[in-house]
Amino acid sequence: MSAETFFEFYRKLSSAETEPSEYQTVFDQLALLCRDRQQNGSTPDEWLRDVDHCLHQIAESSHLFAEAVSSWLTTNEDIKLGKALAEKASVKHLRQSAVTGYDLSKIEEGRAILTGCRLCASYVTPAVTLGWALSLATAYPNSKKAAEAVNHLLSYHIDEFPWTTQRLLASEESAFKSLSQVIEALATLNEQQSWLEALPRLRELSMTQEMRLTLSSLKRRESRSIHRHAKEKSVFSQLFATQHFKYANKTAIEFAVDNQTHETTLEMSPYSVSAELPVSEYIDPELGLARRRALWRGEFR
């Protein structure tokens, strides 16, 4: 893909929100171009790198994402493109505190249901997959098939991501709080949580204070050993000087301007991202894999 072709697709996608009649044509052309690249011998890494910015632009819009992923993820020739787009959306919504709603009313019902199943089977973040499942309930309120799909996908999220599902559904920012399926799912999750909290706890399985101190000491020793070995084998340590400084919640940084040294302080704040793994991954991986394969085929049994 040449730079001019890439820029033209990016421009069309950027204006697709104001020209909604054009986006489906752009999606089809982009998918066709990626197919041609594959037939011409390009590796997936090469042509996916070329369309990376286009996929990012699509993932930024919930409307464009819904239309594109439902088209690509349900077409055999475009599955790799659909998975790459789903990954972009998954990264975007990884830290989201509420589910993401999608307008699925213009998407054919069977395609929308299969897309929701395949998003779950592709390990997409629950904020996206759960939002898609609940959007099925609002887009097709009178459909028995959609209701069955919603119940099955909700059951999947409750079984595989109980803590994340409870947090997303209970969020005050959620647009689906009034749905009967959400109310029932929250009741089930709260009941499970109450049952777990009522279970007896063995003191023998709890770590004592001495054990915690020993564990912390082992972790510090391991960390120092890793840093020491890394420093011994590091090429950069032979090229650049190393400067060590200590900090609590602030650190002082020196910088030079016009041959004069100035100093400023920076606030230190923690940053972390955590994600709940599917329960089946550490309880019964074979069963979890079989369940996701069934979801990919759109099977509810």
Q: Report pLDDT digits (tens) over 97-127.
A: 899 999 998 899 999 999 999 999 999 999 9
* pLDDT score at 7: 72
The tens digit of pLDDT for each residue in 178-233 reads 899 999 999 999 999 999 888 887 777 778 888 889 988 999 999 889 888 888 88
31 close to 78: Cβ distance less than 8 angstroms: yes
149 close to 117: Cβ distance less than 8 angstroms: yes
The answer to whether residue 243 scores a pLDDT higher than 90 is no
The tens digit of pLDDT for each residue in 36-74 reads 888 887 788 888 888 888 888 889 888 889 999 999 999
Percentage of the residues of the chain whose pLDDT score is greater than 70? 93
- Residue ranges of domains in the chain: 1-92, 96-197+279-301
SS (H, E, C) the chain: CCHHHHHHHHHHHHCCCCCCCCHHHHHHHHHHHHHHHHHCCCCHHHHHHHCHHHHHHHHCCHHHHHHHHHHHCCCHHHHHHHHHHHHHHHHHCCCCCCCCCCCCCCCCHHHHHHHHHHHHHCCCCHHHHHHHHHHHHHHCCCCHHHHHHHHHHHHHHHHHCHHHHHHHHCCCCCCCCCCHHHHHHHHHHHHHHHHHHHCCCCHHHCCCHHHHHHHHHHHHHHHHHHHHHHHHHCCHHHHCCCCCCCCCCEEEEEEEECCEEEEEEEECCCCCCCCCCCHHHHHCHHHHHHHHHHHHCCCCC
Instruction: Please report the sign of the dihedral spanned by the C-alpha atoms of residue 199, residue 204, residue 207, residue 209.
Output: positive
- For 112, residues 6+ apart whose C-beta sits below 8 A from its C-beta are 70, 104, 136, 139, 140
- Model confidence pTM above 0.85: no
181 close to 134: Cβ distance less than 8 angstroms: yes
The tens digit of pLDDT for each residue in 139-190 reads 999 999 999 999 999 999 999 999 999 999 999 888 898 899 999 999 999 9
Higher-confidence residue of 146 and 20: namely 146
In this structure, of 5-19, 153-167, 257-271, the range with the lowest mean pLDDT score is 5-19
* pLDDT score at 155: 94
